[in-house]
Amino acid sequence: MSTIKDKIVLITGGANGIGKIMGEKCLQEGAKALVIWDINQANLDKTTAELKAKNYKVYPYNVDVSDAKDIQENANRVLEEVGVVDILINNAGIVVGKMFKEHTSKEVQKTLDINVGGVMNVTLCFLNQMIAQKEGHIVNIASASSYTPNPKMSVYAASKWAVLGWSESLRLELKAEKCNVNVSTILPGYIDTGMFKGVKQPLLTPVLQPEYIAQKIVNAIKYNKVLVQSPWTVRLVPALRGILPLSWYDFVARNIFGVYGTMSDFVGRPKDEAVPEKQTAKMN
């Protein structure tokens, strides 16, 4: 069991959506300090003000997790200004809901830089300190799409397949070292945060409410859960893909559960809420 009380928690993409909710929940659990990394300065300002008004210790940083240099510079600042991060939640991510042929090279690279490179590079900056203190917890937000292909999600799915494979491999490496640094991998279905606005619900698979999945992730930290798959239908996917011939699985996913049509009316976040380009302003 991992304790959140008196720990320093860092959440990427922590100024909005489930990142914001998880941050407050960790503070309610008694976290000593919350470090928020986000690229949206307006959200950083708003969330920080809200949490500080409740007398919580919050340290916001404007960080572009697609930029390894920016990650390293701000990680150094966190270690100097706040201390060793005990709990790291790699939450930042983006999706471009298009057919692959419609993507630009910039969109492909940006998705991979944030969803894959960002997760790995942020972890690299804090992992050795966790190992040295013989305690820590890393949470990696993958996706139900880590298990299944889906039209109009090719690059996103690729990035989340990568996160799942890396996260599980990291978990095994740390387990072999017996360093008491735990890894939880989260595989949620669609979450009602606006990121996937316009998606259709697959059969028996409700769109998750942010409060619900945020609590499940916090519980994963507290009880050292290795995999969190939610809703329950996510667990069916690897089983069906393992048992059924691929053509049968495609038929079931497309025609029975409706998975392959979920992105047909995808809208996503409004442009004014989308991930902005790199901002130069930093916030202590």
Annotated catalytic residues are 156
CB atoms within 10 A of CB 131: 15
Please state, in angstroms and rounded to a whole number, the distance separating the CA atoms of residues 8 and 31. 6
Please state, in angstroms and rounded to a whole number, the distance separating the CA atoms of residues 33 and 56. 7
DSSP characters over 183-244: EEEEEE--BTTTTTTTPPPPTT-PPBPHHHHHHHHHHHHHTT-SEEEESGGGGHHHHHHHHS
Helix and strand numbers (H, E) in the chain are: 9, 7
Those residues whose C-beta lies under 8 Å from the C-beta of residue 199, and which sit 6 or more positions away, are 190, 207, 262, 263, 265, 266
Please state, in angstroms and rounded to a whole number, the distance separating the CA atoms of residues 189 and 232. 9
| Length in residues, the chain | 284
The SS3 of residue 134 is: coil
- Asked whether 117 and 169 are in contact (CB, 8 A), the reply is no
Rg of the chain taking only CA atoms, in angstroms: 18
